[in-house]
Amino acid sequence: MLVLAAIVVVHITAIILLLVATIDNAWWISDTMSTDLWGKWEFTNSDWHYFSLSNYPEDYLQAVQGTSVLACVFTILALFVFLAQLFTLPKGQRFICTGILQLIACLCIMTAASIYTAQFHTNETGGGYGHSYILAWISFVLTLFLTVTYLVLRKKTE
């Protein structure tokens, strides 16, 4: 029972990290700018101003946005499927459906972070990756861990 509680806690942690990484405005930061997947905040005239990401390649930006949102959706869906399988799956069966959903979420966040790394800010020297970008990669590791856990985990036959 303790193992299942720990898995649920890790899963909820992964969901929270994915949501923060997708929503928060710190994928790329500098002293006067902060960007996220949806817009850019610039510090001018002693105030922060919001601008659209017009100078980003739109196809890549939409791919990053879409895969980030899909990662959140699949991770949340995987939690509900896990809870449903926990009560309906016969003893001795593995959590394959949950593992597959978690694998899809893992691949989505990996794709989003990889595209962002390869396509955006490659020639910029004034700034660096922010905490949302780092949280996206941490979420990748957590979702990969959960994928393996769900594919190995099975209900005990007692």
- The full set of domain ranges for the chain reads 2-27+57-152
Query: Is the pLDDT at 25 greater than 60, yes or no?
Result: yes
Question: What are the C-alpha distances in Å from 77 to residues 33, 72, 86, 119, 149?
Answer: 34, 9, 14, 29, 16
Q: What is the pLDDT of residue 147?
A: 94
Q: Which two tokens stand for residue 12?
A: 């909820």
- Topology, domain 2-27+57-152: Butyryl-CoA Dehydrogenase, subunit A; domain 3 (1.20.140)
Among the listed residues 31, 51, 38, 20, the one whose alpha carbon sits nearest the alpha carbon of residue 127:
31
pLDDT tens per residue across span 46-75:
898 988 888 888 999 999 999 999 999 999
Query: Is the pLDDT at 11 greater than 80, yes or no?
Result: yes
The helix (run of H) or strand (run of E) holding residue 112 is: helix 96-119
Burial class (CB in 10 A: 0-12, 13-18, 19+), 156: exposed
Q: What is the band of 92 on the pLDDT scale with cuts at 50, 70, 90?
A: confident
Please report where in the chains the tokens 């017009």 appear, as a residue.
54
CB atoms within 10 A of CB 84: 12
Classify strands 28-29 and 128-129 as parallel, antiparallel or unpaired. Answer: antiparallel
Q: Is the pTM of this model over 0.85?
A: yes
pLDDT tens per residue across span 108-156:
999 999 999 999 888 887 889 999 999 999 999 999 999 999 988 876 6
Q: What is the pLDDT of residue 156?
A: 62
